[in-house]
């Protein structure tokens, strides 16, 4: 239990940290992208606007030539900085065809593709994109040139600037964030396991003390309860010498001591299951044989209630486990199937093997269980019909014990029910050939037979 809780705490801690890191990395990366690429996009848009004005005020030839770094057309050309100048200009006419000039002859074809220009002519809105030119990323910004008549467009001016340095910086930032984030999560997982183990240490100690107290108290209570019941039964043998009221009181004492003895035994069994100290034999068990034996043991009580018990088998459901404990699970399920059945009803014990699983089901045609109670079954001392369960001697621990025994055998115990239709309890265990146990030597007399459990 504490191992699973430790893992869940660590997973929650890592999940919260991962969400914080993702949010921080997302904000940092896109913030850096905005601050690095924003000025380049604004600068490129400004250059495109200047060339648009030259086209409208002067001529197409002036608009489609590169400006110098010194601030205007016609000045001395600037020295190249890498594979491209700080400003790259290309112009397209009204049908999206490239307007050739001395500048465009020196530009790579990847930059001169007219897909962006056609998009701008169709939408009439300035648009930008990024293209890779000779291994260098370039940001392109295209703006339509309106016709002097006010109808349509004379062409498109497209400006570009290299952004490879910014892209490299963003790539380095992304790698850094992934590396730091992954390392932080790994460190958080290791540290979380250590811290959760330290944090749960007091709870683990308190749990162990509680289980030891329950086991010791239950064990100590069994002897005086047994003596008390024996004394009351001895007195009842002389019933004819007792007043009627005294005899009834002694019968009540016997009934209540039986109930308390079952409760003490159940608590002791649960404490051992929780502590993992319940001794289990590892024997090959045929569930169909187990079902037949359970039907035989319960047949007399079923006949008194007018209930029919059937056994159905499909396949060879063989498991490895403790026959006494598994028999106790079956008897507890059958006991409840009879208690909450109707006169003339039916109980079916079904066993089967499916793939690597052995299945044992107990089906009844009883009163069923409402859906709001199903999720609480297995909780200790939880009883659907508290008055009826108390009258029949139930303690609300039987299903908890049955589920604990199933889990101790690497199996599961589930229940499904419909009101006024009946209930089905399904026990699923690993098949014998698929089960791997560390076989323990059995010490003679070390596994006492447990009394029948009731839910």
Read off the pLDDT of residues 274-324 as tens digits, 9 standing for 90 and up: 666 566 678 888 999 999 998 998 888 888 888 999 999 888 888 988 888
Residue-averaged pLDDT of the chain = 79
Under 8 Å between Cβ of 140 and 111: yes
Q: Which residue has the higher pLDDT, 443 or 152?
A: 152
Tell me, yes or no, if the pTM score tops 0.75. Answer: no
Report the candidate in 203, 214, 204, 201 with the shortest Cα–Cα distance to residue 380.
214
Under 8 Å between Cβ of 225 and 257: yes
Rounded to whole angstroms, how far apart are CA atoms 191 and 213? 33
Under 8 Å between Cβ of 361 and 424: yes
Give pLDDT tens digits for 117-140. Answer: 999 999 889 999 999 888 888 999
Helices vs. strands in the chain: H and E counts, helices first: 11, 11
If you ran DSSP here, which 8-state letter would residue 75 be given?
S
Indicate whether 144 pLDDT > 60. yes
pLDDT computed for residue 226 by the predictor: 78
Alpha helical stretches, state H, 155-281: 164-237, 244-275
Under 8 Å between Cβ of 126 and 143: yes
Rounded to whole angstroms, how far apart are CA atoms 319 and 413? 15
pLDDT computed for residue 85 by the predictor: 45
If you ran DSSP here, which 8-state letter would residue 159 be given?
E
Q: Record the tokens describing residue 246, joined without a space.
A: 């005294």
The residue written with tokens 């790994």 in the block is: 186
Please list, in sequence order, all residues whose beta carbon lies within 8 angstroms of the beta carbon of residue 49, skipping any fewer than 6 positions away.
143
Task: Compute CA 377 distance to the chain's CA centroid, rounded to the nearest angstrom.
Answer: 22
Task: Compute CA 233 distance to the chain's CA centroid, rounded to the nearest angstrom.
Answer: 55
pLDDT computed for residue 273 by the predictor: 67
Q: Record the tokens describing residue 211, joined without a space.
A: 């289980």
Indicate whether 71 pLDDT > 80. no
Please list, in sequence order, all residues whose beta carbon lies within 8 angstroms of the beta carbon of residue 428, skipping any fewer than 6 positions away.
357, 358, 359, 411, 412, 413, 414
Q: Which residues pair with 426 in a beta bridge?
A: 361, 414
Burial of 104 (0-12, 13-18, 19+ CB in 10 A): middle
pLDDT computed for residue 156 by the predictor: 92
Indicate whether 259 pLDDT > 60. yes
Indicate whether 68 pLDDT > 50. no
Burial of 189 (0-12, 13-18, 19+ CB in 10 A): middle
Under 8 Å between Cβ of 107 and 64: no
* Residue 345: other Cβ atoms inside 10 A: 19
Degrees to nearest 5, angle at CA 410 with 409 and 412: 100
The region of weakest confidence among 20-29, 64-73, 105-114, 406-415 is: 64-73
Q: Which residue has the higher pLDDT, 22 or 100?
A: 22
Q: Which residue has the higher pLDDT, 381 or 355?
A: 355
Q: Which residue has the higher pLDDT, 355 or 143?
A: 143
pLDDT mean over 433-440: 46
pLDDT computed for residue 25 by the predictor: 93
For the chain, list the domains and their CATH numbers: 2-67+82-170 (3.30.450.20), 280-434 (3.30.565.10)
pLDDT computed for residue 180 by the predictor: 93
Percent over 90 (pLDDT), the chain: 20
Rounded to whole angstroms, how far apart are CA atoms 88 and 105? 12
C-alpha to C-alpha distances, 179 to 20, 23, 399, nearest whole angstrom: 15, 16, 50
Q: How many C-alpha atoms does 87 have within 13 Å on its Cβ side? A: 25
pLDDT computed for residue 278 by the predictor: 64
């Amino acid at each position: 239990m504490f191992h699973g809780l430790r893992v869940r705490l660590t997973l929650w801690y890592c999940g919260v940290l991962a969400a914080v890191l993702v949010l921080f990395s997302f904000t940092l990366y896109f913030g850096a992208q905005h601050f690095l690429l924003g000025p380049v996009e604004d600068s490129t848009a400004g250059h495109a606007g200047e060339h648009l004005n030259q086209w409208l005020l002067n001529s197409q030839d002036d608009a489609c030539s590169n400006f110098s770094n010194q601030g205007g057309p016609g000045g001395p050309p600037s020295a190249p900085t890498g594979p491209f100048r700080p400003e790259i200009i290309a112009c397209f006419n009204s049908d999206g065809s490239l307007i050739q000039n001395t500048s465009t002859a020196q530009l790579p074809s990847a930059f001169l593709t007219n897909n962006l220009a056609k998009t701008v002519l169709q939408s009439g809105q300035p648009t930008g994109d990024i293209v890779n030119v000779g291994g260098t990323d370039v940001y392109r910004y295209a703006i339509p040139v309106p016709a002097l008549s006010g109808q349509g467009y004379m062409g498109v001016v497209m400006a570009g600037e290299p952004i490879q340095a910014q892209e490299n910086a963003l790539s380095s930032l992304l790698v850094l964030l992934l590396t730091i984030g992954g390392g932080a999560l790994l460190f958080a997982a290791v540290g979380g396991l250590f811290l959760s183990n330290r944090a749960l240490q007091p709870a683990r100690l308190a749990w162990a003390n509680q289980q030891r107290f329950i086991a010791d108290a239950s064990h100590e209570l069994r002897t005086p309860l047994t003596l008390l019941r024996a004394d009351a039964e001895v007195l009842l043998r002389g019933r004819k010498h007792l007043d009627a009221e005294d005899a009834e009181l002694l019968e009540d004492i016997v009934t209540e001591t039986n109930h308390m003895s079952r409760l003490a035994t159940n608590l002791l069994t649960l404490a051992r299951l929780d502590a993992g100290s319940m001794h289990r034999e590892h024997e090959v068990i045929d569930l169909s044989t187990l079902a037949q034996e359970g039907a035989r043991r319960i047949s007399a009580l079923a006949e008194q209630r007018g209930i029919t018990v059937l056994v159905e088998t499909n396949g060879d459901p063989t498991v490895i486990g403790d026959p006494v404990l598994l028999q106790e699970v079956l008897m507890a399920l059958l006991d409840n199937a009879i208690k909450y059945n109707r006169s003339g009803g039916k109980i079916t014990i079904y066993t089967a093997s499916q793939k690597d699983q052995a299945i044992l089901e107990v089906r009844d045609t009883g009163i069923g269980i409402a859906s709001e109670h199903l999720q609480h079954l297995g909780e200790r001392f939880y009883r659907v019909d508290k008055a009826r369960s108390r009258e029949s001697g139930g303690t609300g621990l039987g299903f908890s014990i049955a589920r604990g025994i199933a889990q101790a055998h690497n199996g599961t115990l589930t229940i499904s029910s419909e009101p006024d239709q009946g209930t089905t309890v399904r026990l699923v265990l690993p098949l014998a050939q698929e089960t791997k146990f560390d076989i323990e030597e059995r010490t003679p007399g070390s596994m006492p037979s447990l009394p029948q459990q009731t839910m």
